[in-house]
Chains A and B, each alone.
Chain A
Amino acid sequence: MKAITLALLGPLAASAAAAPAGACLNAPGTMHAGSLAVTPVPSPIPMGKPFALQIVPCNAAPERLTVDAVMPAHRHGMNYHPKVIKTKNGFRAEGLLFHMPGEWEFVFDLRFMDGRSERITHRIVVK
């Protein structure tokens, strides 16, 4: 699984830099993680305080989406389980908290109606 994640990092890092095509929202603070437009609430993400993510798929909407985050350098994840709910435009993940400063990696697992699955990762630095 780690190898798959690492393999995805290269192209995703590139796609994160450019806004994807489609009807994605591009609100202030929005991150483009692969085919997802991800807006933290509040933005920027505060260190040591709860936050949520508004997630809008730019292409085909997955049937199911889970969100997690890890600190690769520290080899640990969050101490909290986020809950993802469907919204009119996509998904909202609640219950995230970054308890340490440094580089965090979001991990989005998407499952589509046709049985396909996709993992998208996106790294940010929290101060």
Chain B
Amino acid sequence: MRGLLLIFLVLLPVSAQAWTEAEREQILSFGPWPPEAARDSSNRLSGNPAAIALGAALFSETRLSPGGIACISCHQPQKGWGDGLARSKGMQQLDRNAPSVMNAHLSRWFGWDGASDSLWAASIRPILDEREMASSAERVAATIRSDAALTCQFEKVAGTAPQHLVDEAVMVLGAKAIAAFQETLTSGRTPFDDYRDALARGENAPYPEAAKRGLKIFLDSACAACHTGPSFSNGEFHDTGLPYFMQNGRPDPGRYEGIKRVRANPYNRLSRYSDDPDSGFTVRHVALLHRNWGEFKTPSLRNLRHTAPYMHDGSKATLIEVIRHYSELDEDRLHVDGEAILRPLRLDEASIRDLAVFLETLSASNVPDAASLERWAEEARKCRK
């Protein structure tokens, strides 16, 4: 009998992961999911159903750009609200991967370099960027004013017709409506969420053994230092050891330039267009540091199955490639005076596969789709005075 018990105990770590109290606490910190809906106080249209409908219609409005580029061109529902390209393409070829806008509203900073401090400011940025939509406040306002349904819906949202507002005010309200729509793009629950919640209740839930082993690697390595909380992102910026140089040979300054841009952004949370300048903590206090050069935002690890390729430059086609990058990290490339967080993981092939299986369990099968966009947009398109 004792012999059998010993055999059972030896096998136990393989068949059932026993977590320490500290590990359990850390696992619970990755939930609950979905998080409670919170309105953006800097956007008075946040959570407003009429604004969400207007925003959905504008999200896919190709007339906003002289080149027929809409938000949806780079944030496609069927591609995890990204575009599936390594480096995105607007009016011109761009330098970075289009980040998914799914769950984006849970961020503190927006874009790989955090050049925007709100979702509505992040929606204005590509509209005005010559390489992306190459549009203008004049063009956005003219598009809304020239379309009866958009004008009707805008008036319902703003309380006044777009003809009575200056172009810039129309563009900002349009962007706030686009942000209100994007706030609805919360992904569904995942196998990990079910496992995490069962653990919180002191119960067992079916969860692949490989995923448990991968989760253990995730907790023991530096991964969980930056990929924290229910979004699996601390929302801040780090040097991940990728090349500084872009395809055209120029360096990408990343966060260093992003901080300068968000401070100078006429649409930041401290600006006259913000509905709550007191919410501008981040831009008011953000520090510009030498180590910010070449740092990029920690992406969420949710829904990776839907959002390949990966990294800010889209240079990794698969999760296995991403894990290999961190496993074989070139330490000489990292800042000598930068953070001392990353070390090569030095994982064997089986561990690489386990970590990938764990990351796969962070993807929801139920994610917002094109139909959800269309339902909202249809409401705006039907608007009549």
Contact = CB atoms under 8 A, between A and B. Distances in A.
Interface of A: 47-48, 50, 73-76, 78-83, 94-95, 97, 99-102, 127
**Which of B229, B234, B237: most chain A CB closer than 10 A?**
B234
Nearest to B295: A79
20 contacts: A47-B228, A47-B229, A48-B235, A74-B225, A76-B291, A76-B339, A76-B340, A76-B341, A78-B287, A80-B282, A80-B287, A81-B285, A95-B281, A97-B285, A99-B234, A99-B235, A100-B228, A100-B234, A101-B228, A127-B25
Contact of B285 (A48, A73, A83): A83
B160 interface: no
Interface string B273-291: 0000000011011110101
A100 B285 contact: no
Interface of B: 25, 29, 225-226, 228-229, 234-237, 281-282, 284-287, 289, 291, 338-341
Contacts of A97: 281, 285
**Which of A73, A75, A100: most chain B CB closer than 10 A?**
A100
B286 A74 contact: no
Given A80-B286, A81-B285, A127-B29, 18 more contacts: A48-B235, A74-B339, A74-B340, A76-B291, A76-B338, A76-B339, A79-B289, A80-B282, A80-B285, A82-B285, A83-B285, A94-B285, A95-B281, A95-B284, A97-B285, A99-B235, A100-B226, A100-B228
B229 A75 contact: no
Nearest to B222: A74
A90 B211 CA distance: 51
B225 A102 contact: yes
A81 B228 CA distance: 22
B285 A95 contact: yes
Contacts of A76: 291, 338-341
B228 A79 contact: no
A95 B281 CA distance: 7
Contacts of B285: 50, 80-83, 94-95, 97
A48 B291 contact: no
A5 B3 CA distance: 56
Contacts of A100: 225-226, 228, 234, 236
Contacts of A78: 287
Nearest to A96: B285
Contacts of A80: 282, 285-287
Q: Which 9 A-B pairs have the closest CB atoms?
A: A95-B285, A75-B340, A80-B285, A99-B236, A76-B339, A81-B287, A99-B234, A50-B281, A74-B341
Contacts of B25: 127
A76 B235 CA distance: 16
Nearest to B298: A99
A82 B287 CA distance: 9
A125 to B, nearest CB: 11
Nearest to A98: B234
B235 A73 contact: no
Contacts of A50: 281, 285
A25 to B, nearest CB: 25
Nearest to B287: A81
Nearest to A101: B228
Nearest to A75: B340
B340 A48 contact: no
Contacts of B225: 74, 100-102
A101 B30 CA distance: 13
Given A74-B339, A74-B340, A83-B285, A48 B237 contact: no
Contacts of A83: 285
